[in-house]
Homo-oligomer: A and B are copies of this chain.
Amino acid sequence: MIDPPDQPHTLETLTAALRAAGIRVTRQRAALLRVLAQAVDHPDAPELQKRAEGDVPGISLSTVYRTLATLEAQGVVLRHQFDGTSARFEPAQSTESGHHDHMIDVDTSEVIEFCSDRIEQLQAEIAAELGYEIVHHRFELYVRKARARD
């Protein structure tokens, strides 16, 4: 797991960190890092492949999956498994705020990010009360636009 960034991770610091971890920064990995850094959404593997082909024309889907697994293991990307869809990815420090959770509009599939310190706080308390500490969590709200209040 790569050290928490002193400066926000730039492509350069990231590349260096990976290399230091004995992970070669190949053209395909560099491309995926760039594509992920630019993503404002939560793309899946085929979509990332499509976007990376701008940099590396023949990049294979296997490589995309393998790279995502590697980057996930390094703590550089996050994998989300929303209901009934294939895995979606995002850079680990997407929002500089760091951690956030997701709302999925069940009608449009739009993904909305949010974060509640209160909830994060409560989670820890609940776990602690039962004698556990949280390793990670999954918190997803499947929502629908509210009917206008009448």
**Are A103 and B132 in contact, CB atoms less than 8 angstroms apart?**
yes
**A1 within 8 Å of B (CB atoms):** no
Task: Give Cα A136 to B106, complex, Å.
Answer: 10
Instruction: Give which listed residue, B112, B114, B119, B144, contacts A133 with CB less than 8 A.
Output: B144
Q: Give the A interface residue count (CB, 8 A).
A: 33
**Are A134 and B143 in contact, CB atoms less than 8 angstroms apart?**
yes
**A135 within 8 Å of B (CB atoms):** yes
Q: For the complex, would chain A's binding face be called helix, strand, loop or mixed by DSSP majority?
A: strand
With contacts A105-B132, A128-B146, A130-B103 known, is A141 near B123, CB below 8 A? yes
**A127 within 8 Å of B (CB atoms):** yes
What are the residues of chain B within 8 A of A130 when measuring CB–CB?
Answer: 103, 112, 114
**Are A141 and B134 in contact, CB atoms less than 8 angstroms apart?**
yes
Report the minimal beta-carbon distance from A87 to chain B, rounded to whole angstroms: 11
When each residue 133-150 of chain A gets 1 if its CB lies under 8 Å from chain B and 0 otherwise, what string results?
Answer: 111111111111111000
Task: Give Cα A123 to B138, complex, Å.
Answer: 14
**A109 within 8 Å of B (CB atoms):** no
What are the residues of chain B within 8 A of A143 when measuring CB–CB?
Answer: 127, 132-135
**A131 within 8 Å of B (CB atoms):** yes
Task: Give Cα A140 to B135, complex, Å.
Answer: 11
Report the minimal beta-carbon distance from A97 to chain B, rounded to whole angstroms: 15
Instruction: Give which listed residue, B81, B122, B145, contacts A81 with CB less than 8 A.
Output: B81
